[in-house]
Amino acid sequence: MDNAWFIFSHEKTLLDSRIDAVFKRLNELQLLNDLRLAKNIAQHYAHKGDRFISRLLQQKGFEEIVINQALSSLDNEISRALEEARIKLGATWDNSEQSITLLYRFLSGRGFSESTINAVMKKLNNAKRYLLLKAA
Amino acid at 78: I
Give per-residue pLDDT as tens, 25-75: 877 787 778 899 999 999 999 999 999 999 999 999 999 999 999 999 999
For residue 23, how many other CB atoms are within 10 A of its CB? 12
CA distances from 131 to 90, 94, 127, 128, 135 (A): 15, 12, 6, 5, 6
| pLDDT of 125 | 81
Q: Which residue has the higher pLDDT, 76 or 30?
A: 76
| pLDDT of 108 | 96
- Using a cut of 0.85, tell me whether the model's pTM lies above it: no
Amino acid at 75: D
CB-CB contact of 77 with 50 (8 Å): yes
What mean pLDDT do residues 93-100 have? 81
| pLDDT of 77 | 97
| Domain residue extents for the chain | 1-32, 34-74, 77-135
| pLDDT of 39 | 96
For residue 97, how many other CB atoms are within 10 A of its CB? 8
